[in-house]
Amino acid sequence: MVMESSEEDDEYVAHEWITPQSSVSAAYQSHTEKGIRKLCSELLELKDAVENLCGNMQSKYLAFLRLHEEVVEVEHELINLQKHVSAQGILVQDLIRGVSRELETWKKLDPACTKPDPVCLELTELLAKTTTDPKPSFLETLDGFIVEHRVEEALNLLETEEKENVQAAELLKRKELLEDQLVTIAQQSSLSIFELKKALSGLIKLDKPVLAHQLLLKAYGSKLQKRVESFIPSCSVYQETYPATLSQLVFSTISNAAKDSVSLFGDASSYTNRVVQWAEYEIETFVRLVKENSPLLETASALRSASVCIQASLSHCAILEKQQKVLKFSKVVLVLLTPYMEEILDLNFRRARRRVVEMGREGDPEVMLTSSAKVFMSVIKDNLDQLTPMAISHFGGIVLNKILQLFDRYVDILIKALPNTEDDSLVDSKEHLNFRAETDSQQLALIGAAYSVSDELLPVAVSQFFNLQSEKEGPGGGVNLEYKDWKRHLGHSLDRLRDHFCRQYVLNFVYSREGEARLDARMYLQGKGDDLFWDPEALPSYPFQALFGRLQQLASVAGDVLLGKEKVQKILLSRLTETVVMWLSDEQEFWEVFENDTVQLQPSGLQQLILDMRFIVEIAVCGRYSTRTIHQLVSVIIMHAIRAFSAKGIDPQSALPEDEWFVDTAKAAISKLVQGTSGSDISDEHDEHIILHDDDDEDEEEESDSEESTDSIPSLDESSCDSFASAVAGEIESPVYFTDPDESDQQP
């Protein structure tokens, strides 16, 4: 068996189309080794080349140093030689003068010698040539200073000769040479400010102040450009703070240039205007660099970067204005940065809006019911935290408007989460939400979240945000008015959610019931004809008894869901009550039943309708959320009913009992429904009741409604009313606050 196996292996290896693994490994290994060896040889050659280059550079550098030293030595030798030549020239002149004086003395001592001596004449002519004109000696000295680049000494020499009224025509060429040298010096990039000012002072002495001022601004501009270019690569690292550094570079350069301009040229308007124009150009360049190196505009880093830019720039502008009143650049900075800042704010709040929409689109019930307010506020805080005081001061109104728009979107999402919401006016109404708040507790939780944002979280987040502006503007300033207007619009947005909830709640209550429990005008036509006044068991109609139960149930749920938000509970319950009476007042089909000629009306129907309306008022009074709007609407409905029944021949004066009867009967009905009994003793002592036909007492009635407690109704179970109201006793700050804006305009 073993032998057979070995024979099979030999036969298998013998196939030509099969490459052994050892051959494959050897081939690849050989290629790899060759590549590595070739690479190593190339690296060694590169190393040798670099070493040779470094050696050549070092040798050339040493040769350059030696040559430089030799040049310096030659310059010193030339200077010494020039000094030696000057000294020898002076000695020669002194010698010539001495010889001339000796010859003159000999001539005077020898009167017999009348023929002039040729040697004496030659010496006299030579002395005259060297002493009569000192000007060539001055020009030679000046040329020496110019050649040696001794600019300061040359300027001093020129100034001295000009005072001695030497002709300027011969000095023009020398002045041009000096001017060229000074310009060359001033244009050196490595020149210090001190040396620059010395060179510019020389140009001023040469009557070139305009050129000197141009060179001053050009020098500061080039220095600023180099500093900025060296910093630009760091912008990507310091994305949020790089504008502050750029601002420091730009405005400090402007400040130094302005100071040097005043020190060298004075505060003449021509020079100051040039500084202002140059500074505006540098500021435009600065803003362009900030935009070019900005992070993505829709990110929080971009918003922070722009805010820091505004803060730093305007702070430096204020410092410049204190330094020199002409240097006012705040408006220039705002004009350049406002479109940029507005674009960033718009993109960042669009991003925030997408986050809010995604929160509603995901449809997580837990998030919507418990954390929607936190998610919304985190989105707001992400943007507010990026703003600086100066950005707030100049763009606070825009930010508040963006927050208001974002809150509107948040309210739209909450409205879409309520049942039976088919409102095409809502933003993004075509988007589908997976979550629907079907139960009362879920709906109240959404409303409570919106109220928490509107009344607590947003004002707290914005209060510090606007205190900065209030301190600047002062009391009663435009900012305070803007903030108040913003809060008012915030309340209007919240009213949309509240009114939508109440409207859907009431419509569902009205149209979802059948039979006797349905709120229909025909139930007031089915009376037995007897006066309710004689019925000791008179009760409101079935729909209103059911309404009382629904309100009581909703108040109980609100007490648990909106714990600690008594004001919100009052507002919801009062608005629900207002919505019911509004529907009755405006529902045309309801009143057409009474106006039908074929319908026969009876006094008991009118009495029942008024009792139902009084019952609604007493529900609100017992719940401590009675408002003037409820009273007015109920009065309108009662007067409308009286007119409708009067048109059918029913005398209201004889058909209707006293107002106290309706009030007491309504209270008794509430007591029976709360206690679940068939009857209860009703106290006649109740001073706080509503008189329908006395409009003068409305103000006292409103105050009594707000202050009234359950102790004023002895027959009612105290705990029952408390559980129904689920709100502590307290005066409603503004009854008109619970009404629609159109209705509030009609208030007396």
- C-alpha closest to that of 692 among 636, 744, 644, 615: 636
Average pLDDT over residues 713-718: 34
Residue 430 in this model has a pLDDT that exceeds 90: no
- C-alpha closest to that of 630 among 616, 643, 641, 642: 616
For residue 556, what are the contacts with CB-CB under 8 A and spacing of at least 6?
723, 724, 726
- C-alpha closest to that of 282 among 249, 316, 324, 320: 249
Most confident range (mean pLDDT) of 82-86, 96-100, 642-646 is: 642-646
pLDDT tens, position by position, 240-281 = 889 999 999 999 999 999 999 998 888 888 899 999 999 999
Tokens describing residue 7: 């024979």
pLDDT tens, position by position, 55-79 = 888 888 888 888 888 888 888 788 7
Residue 628 in this model has a pLDDT that exceeds 70: yes
CA of 474: how far to CAs of 48, 181, 487, in Å?
76, 58, 19
pLDDT tens, position by position, 279-290 = 999 999 999 999
Distance CA 111, CA 117 (A): 13
What integer pLDDT is reported at residue 320 of this predicted model?
92
Amino acid at 145: F
Residue 336 in this model has a pLDDT that exceeds 80: yes
What integer pLDDT is reported at residue 578 of this predicted model?
93
For residue 710, the 8-state DSSP code is G
pLDDT tens, position by position, 369-394 = 888 899 999 999 999 999 999 999 89
Residue 748 in this model has a pLDDT that exceeds 80: no
In the chain, the largest separation of any two C-alpha atoms, in whole Å, equals 180
Q: Are 403 and 380 in contact (CB under 8 A)?
A: yes
Tokens describing residue 34: 């060759």
Residue 747 in this model has a pLDDT that exceeds 50: no
What integer pLDDT is reported at residue 729 of this predicted model?
31
Amino acid at 571: I
Please give the radius of gyration of the chain, using alpha carbons only, rounded to the nearest integer: 51
CA atoms within 13 A on the CB side of 319: 16
What integer pLDDT is reported at residue 162 of this predicted model?
55
- C-alpha closest to that of 606 among 544, 670, 650, 664: 650
What integer pLDDT is reported at residue 357 of this predicted model?
87
What integer pLDDT is reported at residue 127 of this predicted model?
56
Instruction: For 124, list phi and psi in degrees, rounded to 5.
Output: -65, -45
Confidence of residue 709 (pLDDT cuts 50, 70, 90): very low
Q: Locate tokens 């088919």: which residue?
A: 422
- C-alpha closest to that of 403 among 381, 388, 420: 381
For residue 438, the 8-state DSSP code is -
Tokens describing residue 596: 């039908």
- C-alpha closest to that of 241 among 304, 314, 287, 293: 304
Neighbours of 259 (CB within 10 A): 12
